[in-house]
Structure 1
């Protein structure tokens, strides 16, 4: 009789666990001084208290889907579904360093973490494919797909929502690389490091007069091709302003070239003034059809270019101002 009772209790407990209407999160932060974490999702937000020793434990009733867990600006995404019981083991001192999950729902979240790390690696940089000759390119594509298949094979219980999203994302990612390889390989060869850069001549300078690339010879030139209507361009402005101030007086000039059309000319002048944009602010002579823009094959913005003191290309599609690795590149170049 006791055995039957124990079996019935076990069945009830398992049933309750599988049909739980909440998520349980447990973990211990490696950093100190954090008082709370915030979990946010679709029409959902909850603060989780963190104990003095970094431990936390809480239950949440969520709408199934992708959520963010954050500590101020430090954040990482995870997939939460009522019924999940997750233990979070942090890889470093910040959330963004990554999490190893265990418990119910771990496979889906560990899969997401593997994909996050993939897209933070060089495997996610199209230039690392486009710069390779055909055989090496084919091998790298195969290597990337094999790695992603391994992640998928390891996630036997991957949630169907994440699986569907993942299939679409991979199709878009590899579709872009495979459809653009030939032309991008040709362009990268054409604009390889050390090749003479295309030049611009007599572009209107916001501060007055005209400026040509040859006027800047003897210094590195970091070029930002942008327009006042371009939202992603404007996102980079605060980072570019900070960068220009930090490197002011050093062996580099920051040049912003607007490709605004004539009807937006006054908008460009007003924005440069109102935003107190630094560096050298230039207005291209024929927007996207300017020879310099067409010579570089620029058809989307923002686009950033780095040229050396001799007028040769360092990188025809260099890192954006918001990327911390840009300053590492500057240091390597002795700027």
Structure 2
């Protein structure tokens, strides 16, 4: 499970909090070990605020934004925050320990600090509970539900924030068991023969998984519209360069809809994407995608030279753990 699972639920259920009235927001951030020279805050109705770093090493901007839930990202990771009328938000963090170090100070920041801590709590739950047997998982989930309800009853928190987040918590709890079952099913795929694919190749013709037999295959399931997918591309390009000439193929499979085939081709050309670029036949409902129980992207899969699954939910290119694993396999 990835933290994006929680963030997506929060954003989906909470966008309705946003009102038409815009309020002035003062935002500053001091980020150690930053991944980028810009931060991007995104919200409902295509809201986007780009905040560049200044000469003093701070990200700073004053802008107008409706009250509600937002995400900020540094091009590599994202986190949620909540903006209220006339907020003065001072963020500090270390990008190497992104979630663990987020602290908001200033005016109107209680909700954002709550979100930062809740994200950590939920990620810990996912990391621990999803490794347990079903009975223990259910016990942990019930405890999580009780704890969630208690934590949101805080007089310091905005009432609209409380209502929206409570709805999001309920969605999380309702979906958690389904996600747990999917995770169990996915883990059972390890060591088994991978499902096959036979997809359109950007360079012409079609490519089957069986065509790559004899090599390790690292597969990236992505789409042109997926921000986190695009954020992984520079890291994937570095991985491809490092292991060029080794016994491994890098395959990117787009699950864009058929109507966006030309958009996919243009993206591949404009970004000069390497590896083997393929286009799935039925986007999310492609047989290969469904066989792996994919519910979110980017999703990475590692297959061995015999066509067996090494990891059905492999580490991302931006993860140091991936290079450690590939170094061991390709030595």
Give the TM-score range, shorter chain: 0.5 to 0.7
Compared with structure 1, are the counterparts of its residues 297 and 79 closer, same or farther at alpha carbon in structure 2 (3 Å cutoff)?
Answer: closer
**1:131–1:185: 8 Å Cα contact kept in structure 2?**
no
Matches of 1:24 and 1:197, distance apart in 2: 51
Matches of 2:125 and 2:202, distance apart in 1: 40
**With CA pairs under 8 Å and 6+ residues apart, which has the higher RCO, 1 or 2?**
2
Aligned to 1:113: 116
Matches of 1:28 and 1:269, distance apart in 2: 37
**1:255–1:280: 8 Å Cα contact kept in structure 2?**
yes
Match among 212, 225, 230 for residue 231 of structure 1: 225
Aligned to 1:311: 307
Compared with structure 1, are the counterparts of its residues 305 and 107 closer, same or farther at alpha carbon in structure 2 (3 Å cutoff)?
Answer: same
Aligned to 2:17: none
Aligned to 2:145: 145
Aligned to 1:4: none
Matches of 2:64 and 2:218, distance apart in 1: 49
Matches of 2:277 and 2:40, distance apart in 1: 42
What do residues 250-300 of structure 1 show as CA deviations (whole Å, max 9, x unaligned)?
A: 443111235577777666656544543211123557776765445435577
Give runs of aligned pairs for residues 86-235 of structure 1, distance below 5 A. Answer: 90=92, 92=94, 97-99=101-103, 101=105, 105=108, 107-119=110-122, 121-124=123-126, 129=129, 132-149=132-149, 151-152=151-152, 155-182=154-181, 184-185=182-183, 187-191=185-189, 193-200=190-197, 203=199, 205-207=201-203, 211-226=207-222, 231-232=225-226, 235=230
**2:149–2:166: 8 Å Cα contact kept in structure 1?**
no
Secondary structure of the equivalent of 1:221? strand
Deviation for aligned residue 1:160:
0.9
Query: RMSD of the TM alignment (CA)?
Result: 5.3
Compared with structure 1, are the counterparts of its residues 299 and 250 closer, same or farther at alpha carbon in structure 2 (3 Å cutoff)?
Answer: same
Deviation for aligned residue 1:114:
1.3
Compared with structure 1, are the counterparts of its residues 309 and 163 closer, same or farther at alpha carbon in structure 2 (3 Å cutoff)?
Answer: same
Compared with structure 1, are the counterparts of its residues 105 and 265 closer, same or farther at alpha carbon in structure 2 (3 Å cutoff)?
Answer: closer
Higher Cα Rg: structure 1 or 2?
1
**1:130–1:188: 8 Å Cα contact kept in structure 2?**
no
User: Which sections of structure 1, spanning at least 5 residues, go unmatched?
Assistant: 1-20
**1:114–1:151: 8 Å Cα contact kept in structure 2?**
no
**2:315–2:321: 8 Å Cα contact kept in structure 1?**
no
TM norm structure 2: 0.61
Aligned to 1:252: 248
Deviation for aligned residue 1:64:
5.2
Aligned to 2:273: 277
Aligned to 2:325: 332
Deviation for aligned residue 1:111:
1.9
**2:40–2:74: 8 Å Cα contact kept in structure 1?**
no
Matches of 2:95 and 2:268, distance apart in 1: 40
User: Which sections of structure 2, spanning at least 5 residues, go unmatched?
Assistant: 1-22
